[in-house]
Amino acid sequence: MANLSSLREAVRDLIHDGDTVALEGFTHLIPHAAGHEIIRQGRRDLTLVRMTPDLIYDQLIGMGCAAKLIFSWGGNPGVGSLHRFRDAVEQSWPHRLEIEEHSHAGMANAYVAGASNLPFALLRGYTGSDLPKVNPNIRFIECPFTGEKLAAIPSVRPDVTVIHAQKADRRGNVLLWGILGVQKEAVLAAKRSIVTVEEIVDDLEAPPNACVLPYWALSAVCPVPGGAYPSYAQGYSERDNRFYKAWDPIARSREDFRAWMQRHVLDTDDFAGFRRVLAESMKEAA
């Protein structure tokens, strides 16, 4: 049964050093608050999984939390590069980062296979691409019925999946809507799961086909209003495009990055604290 708890307790109890962790979100509903809490609690040697690693993965990688990244597109959406990710891959800073690289179709299918309790995903994919030459986890098998050659990649089975959603009821049933990405599959593929939500309500008022994750399939549900910031939660907040742009110069230099993380994340108690300090520093900058 899902445990309504604080994010600090959920991260402390459910995410351990060395775990494989997927913080999923496809531009929308990215669990930034949970990422910050992982950084605050100093987790190490994580295998991070995500189709579209963006700013929060740049921060986790730059702060030395990750040993490996499994991904299919790593960038700052609409802006350009992830400088901490690039520094880790190009210069091994702060340490070497192992990468396992796929296409979106491969990753999406690997989550579906994980949620389906299958050992691998099967797809028409990667043909003619050099990705199979650099990723031994992309292989090809023959269809037993037609002989057709198909791509096979291992399922994604995270120890913990973390997502952000719009709301939960008091039992811990979670409702999310808008752009859903692979969040449902990522949660169902994982051994444990943490969902941060904008609010707790008496009644989800979910229509029958809505994307509801039942309380008994989740480990922890944590109210963190605005916990996707600078990403957004449809119906609650807008994406802060200016922050995505502002991140570029912060992340370019190792020193500026470290100082920013110290002030905004390590020296704050929680996400509300982060938002307060960020508001102050944005005002200073303006």
Partner 1 sequence: MSSTETLDFTATEIMTVAASRLLKDGTVCFVGIGLPSTAANLARLTHAPEVVLIYESGPIGAKPTVLPLSIGDGDLALTADTVVGTPEIFRYWLQGGRIDVGFLGAAQVDRFANINTTIIGSYDAPKVRLPGAGGAPEIASQAKEVFIVLKQSPKAFVAKLPFVTSAGYLDGGDARARAGIPGAGPTAVITDLGILTPDPVTRELTLTGIHPGVTVEQVKAATGWDLKISPDLKTTEIPDAGTLAALRDLHARTAAAHGISQGQAGGGEG
Q: Enumerate binding residues for partner 1 (CB under 8 A).
A: 26-28, 51-54, 71-82, 85-86, 89-90, 101-105, 108-109, 111-112, 123-131, 134, 148-149, 178-182, 184-185, 232, 234, 238-239, 241-242, 244-245
Rounded to the nearest angstrom, the gap between the alpha carbon of residue 12 and the centroid of all alpha carbons in its chain is 17
Q: How many angstroms separate the CA atoms of 25 and 196, rounded?
A: 12
Residue 227 φ then ψ, to 5°: -70, -5
Residue 67 or 123 with smaller CB distance to partner 1: 123
Residue 28 or 192 with smaller CB distance to partner 1: 28
Decide if 23 contacts 69 (C-beta within 8 A). no
Rounded least distance, CB 138 to partner 1, Å:
10
Rounded least distance, CB 227 to partner 1, Å:
17
Question: Which pairing describes strands 66-71 and 120-123: parallel, antiparallel, or unpaired?
Answer: unpaired
Specify which residues 60 forms β-bridges with. Answer: none
Cα dihedral sign, 227-231-236-237: positive
Rounded least distance, CB 208 to partner 1, Å:
16
Rounded least distance, CB 146 to partner 1, Å:
12
Residue 157 or 239 with smaller CB distance to partner 1: 239
The structure tokens listed for 133 are 């030459």
Rounded least distance, CB 158 to partner 1, Å:
16
Q: How many angstroms separate the CA atoms of 183 and 105, rounded?
A: 15
Rounded least distance, CB 106 to partner 1, Å:
8
Residue 64 or 77 with smaller CB distance to partner 1: 77
**Under 8 Å CB-to-CB from 236, ≥6 apart: which residues?**
166, 198, 225, 226
From 229, 197, 227, select the one nearest 213 (Cα to Cα): 197
Residue 135 or 268 with smaller CB distance to partner 1: 135
Helices (H), the chain: 7-14, 32-40, 55-62, 83-91, 104-115, 131-134, 183-189, 241-252, 254-261, 271-285
Rounded least distance, CB 90 to partner 1, Å:
6
Residue 202 or 286 with smaller CB distance to partner 1: 286
Residue 10 or 247 with smaller CB distance to partner 1: 247
